[in-house]
Amino acid sequence: MTETTTRADVLATLLGIEAGSPLAQLRARRSEATTHTQGSYDALFVAPSATRVTPAERFATALRVAALHAEPALIDHYAAQLRAAPGGAELVEPAAAGPDASGLPERLRAMLRHADLLVVRPAAATRADLAALQRAGLAAPEVVTVSQVIAFTSFEVRVFVALALLRGDERRAPAEQLGPRDATTEGFTQEQLGWTPWIGEPSVEELTDAQRAVLPGRRIESPYFRLLSLDPAVLGERTATDMGIFYTHEGLWRAERELAATVTSRVNGCIYCASVHSRNASQISKRPDDVQRLLDEGIGARLDERWRAIADLAAALTVTPPAATQKEVQRLRDLGLDDLELLDLMQSAAFFSWANRLMLTLGEPIRGA
């Protein structure tokens, strides 16, 4: 691996965050989220992998995701990593250009086509899209790894944007919004749903010790988490990142972190994720009618000033490329939110740009579960 790849904190390096700076101190207050965001990167791009997706394939896929998000620092980063990977130098330009570019191996072309789907139209995914990856030679574990690369990089972009905004960087909303396209606006509910995968997940009896280690408690009963355990190291870091964002003391009220997750899921059209996190937001806040109105009417639903501003920032961070600016951040500062609360809000929304892309594209919700 290259020196760039093995640096301790990729986001800090790309943003030029100096040790002891206010932004470094802020991230240290959410040390688990910070550490395991980097840990997720390492599990996907640095450490020996449980699946047969090559470093060049991983970096090429991440480069395409960064290009779709039009984020120069991450484009340059993944281009450099791809250029340094075995067999990767000749893939940099075609990978950034996308699946229709010439000079791509067919297996990688299928991965980049899947990246375009997950980034721009995740709610339009079907079982046939996973079958296309399998026809290109990817077994179920490799499908999971590629999906994690795409979804993680989508999260990483949004954390990058969030940190830049918290530092005070001026960012313009993009001239063109690519996605999400084809997101459903119907069927959202606070009812408990099930979820079924489109490719085979291991049964409880088939799990290895490494897989069991990343399936604590009742997660072992979940087809979704058993499927993700096909790449156990990535799932372990992802779970720790989730816990570091949503289950911490101080900062943003937990109900409002769940609200941000609900908003992101509503924008992306993820009925399953919205059901779980709208239910959590309702139960904690004791405001089920407001939450249901958000599900029924969409992001423009009538809300009080604070929740309206939270929803607007979460939604602006969710679209592709992210459209969040200092305008949305300042509006919440004016309402009394401090930097830790803003970090919690934006990392909660960013995480569900990861979660939605897995839920929407590896399987489908089922009612009556």
- pLDDT tens, position by position, 303-338: 999 999 999 999 999 999 999 999 999 999 999 999
pLDDT tens, position by position, 27-65: 999 999 999 999 999 999 999 999 999 999 999 999 999
35 and 80: one domain?
yes
Packed helices 339-362 and 271-285: angle between N→C axes, nearest 10 degrees? 140
- How many CA atoms, within 13 angstroms, populate the side-chain half-sphere of residue 47? 15
Q: Does 256 fall in a domain?
A: yes
Q: Do 146 and 235 sit in the same domain of this protein?
A: no
User: Buried (b) or exposed (e) across 165-200, using 16+ Cβ within 10 A?
Assistant: bbeeeeeeeeeeebbbeebeeeebbbeebebebbbe
**Domain match, 256 and 301 both:** yes
- Domain range for 236: 194-366
What is the tens place of the pLDDT at every residue in 199-242?
999 999 999 999 999 999 999 999 999 999 999 999 999 999 99
- Do 41 and 110 lie in one domain? The reply is yes
Could you tell me the CATH number of the domain that includes residue 88? 1.20.1290.10
What's the confidence (pLDDT) of residue 4?
37
- Say if residues 119 and 179 touch (Cβ distance below 8 Å): yes
Domain count, the chain: 2
Q: Is residue 185 part of a domain?
A: no
Same domain, 146 and 291: no
As beta bridge partners, residue 320 has 179
Residue type, 2: T
pLDDT, tens digit, 9 for 90 and up, residues 258-295: 999 999 999 999 999 999 999 999 999 999 999 999 99
Tally Cβ neighbours within 10 Å of residue 46.
18
> How much of the chain, in percent, has pLDDT values that exceed 90?
97
Task: Tell me, yes or no, whether 182 lies in a domain.
Answer: no
User: DSSP labels for 52-91?
Assistant: ---HHHHHHHHHHHHHHTT-HHHHHHHHHHHHHSTT-GGG
Half-sphere exposure of 204 (CA within 13 A, CB side): 7
Nearest of 324, 20, 289 to residue 157 by alpha carbon = 324
Query: Looking at the domain assignment, is residue 207 inside a domain?
Result: yes
- What gap in Å lies between CA 331 and CA 338, rounded to an integer? 11
- Spell out where the chain has E strands: 194-197, 363-366
In a domain, 184, yes or no: no
